[in-house]
Amino acid sequence: MAPNPTTSTRQPLKLLMLHGYTQSGSLFHAKSRALTKHIQKAFPLHEVTAIYPTAPIRLLPTDIPGYEPSSEGGSDNEIESYGWWRRSNTANPPLYIGIEEGFAAVARTLKEEGPFDGVIGFSQGAALAAMVAALLEPGRKASFEHFSKISADGAAGMTIPALFGEEGFQHPQLKFAVCYSGFRAPGARYRAFYEEPAIQTPVLHVLGSLDAVVEEARSRALVEACAGEPEKDGLVVWHPGGHFLPSQRPYLDATVRFIREQMERSNGSNDKGKEVEEDVNDMDLPF
């Protein structure tokens, strides 16, 4: 039987989708439906696949800001809420408890489902996306070796996450990262992700001008940790909303345009595809 040209000739475009704090892979899948549909329609010559791992840390009610238990009672373990790490409220400088588990979960996904072309994350997942992009860059291991020997603010730098540092771990550098409501991990412990060198992977930052969850200064710190001049290069996009993934057409188009530029740059391809009109008004939901 002759191969089906619609499947045999389409190039893969694989996306790693990292959800935010208190979410899950399945919930982020639902919340990002407009975005992934827009990407799929914009790349008709590619087989677009989005993989949504769930973070390994199951959160308790005390971990969730504003959580109010049901009057009907029930077990705390029934809460379907996850995080890539917990932030310590007592450590100074700040400490991300369980971050090694988060990185291990991502490393397993990279190994089992990869290779990935890019990563898209929201909030805590966006912070993680930038760190994962940095980890996969050539030479980043030397950054961790350098900063692990430096003690600043009373804390030595974090060593490279275990699975990423293993001799047999292999995954190519990502072609791009898209960070919605992202931020830089604070304090001296995590400098190796962002310094010597700065993040080299192209990153698009999509930020809400009314975001009351992630302070603008924290998002700008991540922007400044990326190589070049992201704002001058059009890699910082503001939407007039709060802490959610915007679904209005201009912001979906901005992401598609960015991904297309990076794919063409990496693949040397002249295939530009053709965007298809889509009604995305039904996905303007807060996270």
Which are the catalytic amino acids?
Answer: 123, 211, 243
Alpha-carbon gap, residue 28 to 31, rounded angstroms: 5
Q: What are phi and psi of 118, to 5 degrees?
A: -155, 175
